[in-house]
Amino acid sequence: MKKLLLILLCLPFIGFGQINFKEVKQENDCHMCPGKLVVQKNNLSDTLILGSWGRFPNYELIKSGNKEYLFVESNYLSGGIVESSIMLFSTDETNFLENIFTTGFLSEEFKYKGDENYSFEQIIRDFQYIEIIDNYVSIDIDTSVWLGSDINEKTTLKSKGSKKLSFLIKRIE
């Protein structure tokens, strides 16, 4: 009987501080129709509206020290260019889901040369890794440049490399 009473007393604390997600797919799945993500922590609840085609973009929880952040990576195709955004949201109770960092970059683009072979240069930037240390966020991005032609459909790697970018994030009190 004492064990049952102890279990019943501890049950409310099992989910304390846990963050729950619920993706809400929109009925409209048009190119510019965002998806929704309902985020809940304890008695707090809010909805992020991001993405396209009625779907919410990729997301995950990232821990740094004793803090936890919601990381969102979103891509958007517009005019043959893929635009990517990386966002961090606070999960702290004092500023729940406040956007504390956003950066964007072109993750795929074409540059046509206008010659008789319809030659182009394709640039692909691929986000690889994110790390949060103190008030800085570090991002690794791999870049490759391809040369090709619409006539022979063969592409050749021109160059590739990676770089690490560091940004100061919004201070959270």
pLDDT in tens, 11-58: 444 445 699 999 887 777 677 788 888 999 999 999 988 888 778 888
The pLDDT value recorded for residue 157 is 93
Kindly tell me the number of DSSP H helices and DSSP E strands found in the chain.
1, 10
The pLDDT value recorded for residue 23 is 86
Give the predicted TM-score (pTM) of the model.
0.75
The pLDDT value recorded for residue 10 is 45
pLDDT band at 172; cut points 50, 70, 90: low
